[in-house]
Amino acid sequence: MEKELKIAEIMKLLPHRYPFLLVDRVTELIPNEIIKAYKNVTFNENFFQGHFPSAPVMPGVLIIEAMAQAGIILVANSLDTATENKDTVYLFTGIEKARFRRPVVPGDKLEIECSNLHKKMQLWKMDAKAFVNGQLAAQATLTASSTNAANIN
């Protein structure tokens, strides 16, 4: 079942808030298969104040984080119990084979795609890619797990 998610629905799934919510819209979501989402990158992003003032570039770790957030939305929508347990927190647990291919700058639309979702015990693994104007900006294999929010404190 393919669907689209707007920001209010994204905020129900992710605990992140400004300035760390890095997914603006989900344009395609097929549980257990693929998610396509995007982040509009503007000069008003707080990280551009220091990275870098004379040549603003989105930090690679934040591109990875945006991909991870999209991946968590895919994971949450691929579980039968995703809406049943409001206390579940999904945690980004690993990065493999991360590569950065082009800078992401103010005015870019960072298009994110996560696919090839696999689950083993409580761990999910997926391929993630980020594009700008159809050009590959970053890619990585990401892993995530879930826990009860009470276990974090």
Catalytic: 51?
yes
| List 16, 25, 51, 129, catalytic entry | 51
DSSP string, the chain: ----B-HHHHHHH----TTS----EEEEEETTTEEEEEEE--TT-GGGGTS-TTS----HHHHHHHHHHHHHHHHHHHSTTTTT-TTEEEEEEEEEEEEE-S---TT-EEEEEEEEEEEETTEEEEEEEEEETTEEEEEEEEEEEEEEGGGT-
Which residues have a catalytic role annotated?
A: 51
